[in-house]
Amino acid sequence: MNCRFSKKPLVLAVAMVLGGTTMIAAPQLAFAAKTAGTYVTGDFHNHTTCSDGSISMQKLVKKVTDKASNGGDTPWGLDWFVQAGHGGNGNRNCTLVEDATLSTPAYPYVSGKGPTTTWTDSIGAGNIKGLNGSSSGNMWRWQSLQEFQYPLMEYLNALKGLPLFLGMESVVAGHEHSSMSVITGQIPSALDNVSLPGAPGYTALGNANALAQWEYCFDRADTDNSRGAGNAWDCSVTGSLNSGDANWNSTAAKLTNNNGVSGHNKTLEALKWMKENHLTGSYYVPAHLERAGPFNTAGANGYNIEHLRNFNNAAPMTAFGFETQPGHGAANNRGEYQVLRNNFGTNGGTVDSVGGTTYGGTGVYGAQIGGVWDALLGEGRNWWFFASSDWHNRGSFGPDDRRSTQDFYPGEYQRTAVMVRNGADKLRPQTIVDGLRTGNAFSASGQLIDRMAFVACASYPGLGNRTNSSVETIAKNAALSNTDIDVAGCATMGEKLKVRPGAEIVVSIVVRDPDGSNYSPYTFNNPSLAQVGISQPINKPVLDHVDVIRGMVTGYKTPGAADYSGEWPRNTAWLSATGMTPADLSGVPAAAKNTSAAILKTFDSYAWATIPGNPEYKSMTFRIPAVQASQYIRLRGTNLPASVPYETDANGNPLADLFTNANDTTMLRIPCTTGHSAGSQFDGCPDHLATATSGTNKLGVAITNPIAGQKAVSYDVAAWSDLWFYSNPIYVEVAGTTVVAGVK
């Protein structure tokens, strides 16, 4: 008799019974992990001869993406690059290369032609489209983008295997300029397998039609009325007045109001159009937004905070930040910011750039703790800090000279590093724009730092307690591998950490201050630091300290409310003739400040630790105890200690760059005394530095300059001497208090 007792049915029975009467939870949908990514550096604001730049697209791409390891003559190779000239029109053909070294099979060098050759002399006047195109020789940017610049950019993308695409520095209705792009149609995936031509001529697989249409429809400088010739564009926005608007031009099928509030409203239409048609395929980042002064109700000048709020409200997925660290870093008026720069005519006379000058190379909106940026962050907005080169030319020097009295190449001086989550895929425009949108980015000048991990983690007494070392390990691993932080209960830049009241926040920061030389050509000691007895070669900067800045979040301001709008104090109400600014923000309207913002911690070499085996990496960890209200933290750092004369104040804040701007030599104050050798302009103070003078300054004040007659820190030497980095914020949203609504 076979009487084996099988346990299997018994087990099944028990399982059946228990399964029938006991519901045991099983995970349904695990929280989606972020796609892996790395921080990659790029630039989205720069010019070629198609607008007011000085070189061809090919030369610019080569300059900014070459790496020394690839035999390039410029070593600062960026990981991604958006070529972005002005809207409007231009008469030069930037697709023609300067010489045979820049030849490619599809775009060979043509003897006697180059990037300053006109469209008329290259393609023929008859081929220039739109209003007055043929007669003026000026090609509207929409045609240039659509028919000439995009095909070349796509070709270079495929040829070099680099994420190159097109954007624009729009000439903004109601304001000055803005970096932007619509990437729809650009760099299609089919390009991965393209077979490039071996002879002149290239037919693009993708297109920049959307960007071109946007330029036609909304750029202030585009007064064409042809509807893009054969494109037959209509600039209507769903739900807007469009043809019912008094400013609608029916022939052009677009709005033509370009100044003041009316112009600003046109720009809001532009943002609505982007939101409607290219929600994730566009970005809009006001550029050097303090330069042209405050908002001008009768013109097209700067931006007040209410305009930034309006942009972000209208299209939060598109208008998510600003270029408050401008390019033009080597100019005689750093960033091209200066006192009495802007003529408002009868609507205000001559008006300073907002803040008067830059502050350590950054505009006052971003540089002033408790100012405009903190006001926006204090609302819980997704409003991020970016830096771009605004490359045009080298000023007094040729494009291949390492000296500059005007601009730095993209990547040479300022670099924005952005977390791009491309997984195993290559870098593509969409993932790059997605990365910009997240705010997981930091910007550094002079390669002061080139790696950053910035993380905030929740900690609770008992089971949820995190040690400092556990969070430091998270940051250290991320920094060492240049990757993201994806840990439950932690957040990094551009993200919000949701916690219960009373949570402790463990913050860890790891930055890499790279050894060796940066991309500065100058090897003599930093004259700004020499004032305080520090001997440090300009091209080997050392991070002096890192500030942690904290502000509280109190929610969005209501449009129309008194604290929604307000102009930054104009002219000497902010920057006095002596170069000093008010000691506090009392003169700043409520709308434009966040008085809760302050330095929470400062770390220097005495306070940070170095990672064993990796001394370039500085590690800083601290705890914010028992948070009871929503807040944010952000970082800045510099090579300059506090109280460096004419550079930093006693609290380490950057002073106005008035004292290094060569456009007013009476205000230059930092002598540059190291002589250079006969054969070099780089081992000592170069000849092109300005000489300080006494006399009447730009504001009409008689100045006796203590260094009159001496070479003074100015131009590119001023920029290389004065380095900063800025991180984007980490938000902490405390349950039951203000919601950080701008970050999802």
Partner 1 sequence: MKLNLIPVLLAGLLSAAPAFSATPVTIDFEGPTSYASIDQYYNGGADSAGAVGVNLGVTFGLDALAFQHDLLSFSNAPSPVGVMAPVNSDAALNYAAGFTTGAMFYYSSANATSVGVYDGLNGTGNLLGTFSLASNDDSSYSNWSLATLTFNGTAKSIAFGQAASALTGFDNVTIGAVPEPTEALMLALGLGVVAQVVQRARRKQASV
Binding residues (CB under 8 A) for partner 1: these are 1, 3-5, 9-10, 12-14, 16-18, 20-32, 458, 460-466, 470, 487-489, 498, 500-503, 735
What is the CA 551 to chain-centroid distance, rounded? 21
Exposure b/e, 272-296, CB count within 10 A at least 16 = b: bbbbebbeebbbbbbbbbbbbbbbb
Q: What distances in angstroms separate CA 104 from CA 72, 100, 152, 196, 480, one per listed residue?
A: 16, 9, 11, 11, 38
Select from 729, 262, 693 the least CA-distant residue to 491: 729
In the bound complex, what is the minimum distance in angstroms from residue 28's beta carbon to partner 1? 5
The residue among 69, 120, 119 whose CA lies nearest residue 94 is: 119
Residue among 20 and 679 whose Cβ is closer to partner 1 = 20
Distance of closest approach, residue 459 Cβ to partner 1, in angstroms = 9
Of the pair 30, 190, the CB lying nearest partner 1 is at 30
Least distance in Å: CB of 11 to partner 1? 9
CB of 487 to partner 1, least distance (A): 7
Provide the minimum distance between the beta carbon of 264 and partner 1 in the complex, in angstroms, as a whole number: 37
CA distance 557 to 565: 9
C-beta of 161 vs 464, nearer to partner 1: 464
- Measured between alpha carbons, how far is 229 from 140 in angstroms, rounded to an integer? 11
- C-alpha radius of gyration, the chain, whole number: 27
Q: How many CB atoms lie within 10 A of CB 713?
A: 30
Nearest-approach distance from CB 13 to partner 1, in angstroms:
4
For partner 1, the closer CB: 3 or 232: 3
Task: Return the number of the residue (317 or 505) whose C-beta is nearest partner 1.
Answer: 505
Least separation in angstroms between residue 384's CB and partner 1 is 23
What's the min distance (Å) between Cβ of 634 and partner 1? 22
Distance CA 203, CA 190 (A): 13
Q: Which is closer to partner 1, CB of 501 or CB of 706?
A: 501
| Rounded CA separation 132/238 (Å) | 30
The minimum distance between CB 461 and partner 1, in angstroms, equals 6
State the burial class of residue 91 (Cβ atoms within 10 Å of its Cβ: 0-12, 13-18, 19+).
middle
- Judged on CB neighbours under 10 Å (0-12, 13-18, 19+), 315 is buried
Is 301 in contact with 349 (CB distance < 8 Å)?
A: no
Distances (CA, A) of 428 to 320, 433, 484: 20, 9, 18
Cβ atoms of 156 and 61 within 8 Å: the answer is yes
Least distance between partner 1 and beta carbon 500 (Å): 5
According to DSSP, residue 597 is labeled -
Q: Of the two residues 253 and 456, which places its CB atom closer to partner 1 in the complex?
A: 456
Contacts of 4 (CB under 8 A, 6+ apart): none
**Among candidates 451, 457, 442, which has minimal Cα distance to 491?**
457
Q: Report CA-CA distances (Å) from 283 to 180, 309, 430, 438.
A: 5, 15, 11, 12
Residue 478 parent element (H or E): helix 468-481
Cβ nearer to partner 1, comparing 223 with 468: 468
Smaller CB separation from partner 1, 567 or 733: 733
Question: Which CB sits closer to partner 1, 34 or 402?
Answer: 34
Judged by CB, which is closer to partner 1: 175, or 466?
466
Q: Residue 643 contacts by C-beta under 8 Å, 6 or more apart in sequence?
A: 532, 649, 650
Q: Which is nearer to partner 1, 503 or 642 (CB)?
A: 503
- Alpha helix segments (H runs only) across 577-710: none
The residue (of 27 and 71) whose beta carbon lies closer to partner 1 is 27
Residue 488 CA to chain centroid, in angstroms?
29
Amino acid at 58: Q
> Residue 507 is which amino acid?
V
Q: Which is nearer to partner 1, 10 or 100 (CB)?
A: 10
Closest approach, Cβ 563 to partner 1, in A, equals 30
The nearer residue to partner 1, 467 or 680, going by C-beta atoms, is 467
Beta bridge partners of 504: 459
Minimum Å distance from CB 501 to partner 1?
Answer: 7
Q: Which long-range contacts (CB under 8 A, 24 or more apart) does 514-517 make?
A: 514/447, 514/449, 514/450, 514/616, 515/616, 516/540
162: alpha, beta or left? (left if phi > 0; alpha if psi -120 to 50)? beta
User: Least Å distance between CB 379 and partner 1?
Assistant: 22
Contacts of 292 (CB under 8 A, 6+ apart): 175, 176, 177, 300, 301, 302, 341, 342, 353
- CA 471 vs. chain centroid, Å, equals 28
User: Angle between the 260-277 and 305-314 helix axes, to the nearest 10 degrees?
Assistant: 30
CB of 484 to partner 1, least distance (A): 16
194 or 741: CB nearest partner 1: 741
Q: Among residues 157 and 459, whose Cβ is nearest to partner 1? A: 459
